[in-house]
Amino acid sequence: MPDMIKKPLRELFLSSYKEFRQRLWNRLGSPHLADDALHETWLRIDGVGDGVVVKYPAAYLFRIALNVAEEQRRSQSRVMSLGEVDELYQVADELADPARIIIGETEIETFRQILDELPLRRREMFIAARLRDVPHTDIARRFGVSLRTVEKELKAGLQYCCERMGKHYIQRFGPRPETEASLKNDE
């Protein structure tokens, strides 16, 4: 009976596909990201071991899809197209302007000072995640906290830094931010 867990998961996946897609779309902010994550989730159901006990199958499948989306986001954020590389070569001459160099160095120093204002744990988590590209799971393990706590600390650190530098904070992954239009529709 090698298919004891996979068959019910596949059936649930197929019967709840539209709901999963809508939830992912809302969470990720893109129908294309939702479709890609669900496609990969379907493929990963085959990798589920028969010894796995799944108490809440719908939540289990949704978590797989979210993990897939996060992995895809990370891998895509590190890849540049050839067009983007060409643009960087063309922009390089403009960036050599001495005034821009001084402005850039000033912004870096300001950012360092703002980082020093963060609480120690938040600053260390922020530096590990944003500057050293340490996976969030490794950060959670290092500090002995949950993954959710790491995410909250990073969000708070990023919001604080943006606010202090006079930059607008934009959340690029996760639930869509509330807008005036969506608030009016809810009324």
Q: What is the mean pLDDT of residues 35-57?
A: 85
Which of 29-33, 50-54, 177-181 shows the highest mean pLDDT?
Answer: 29-33
Residue 124 CA from chain centroid, whole number: 19
CB of 153 closer than 8 Å to CB of 126:
yes
At residue 90's C-alpha, the angle toward residues 84 and 96, to 5°, is: 120
What is the tens place of the pLDDT at every residue in 59-82?
989 999 999 988 888 777 666 667
pLDDT for residue 183: 45
Instruction: Tell me the chain's radius of gyration from C-alpha atoms.
Output: 21
CA–CA distance from 51 to each of 2, 46, 47, 48, 65 (Å)?
A: 10, 13, 12, 9, 21
Q: Percent of the chain beyond pLDDT 90? A: 32
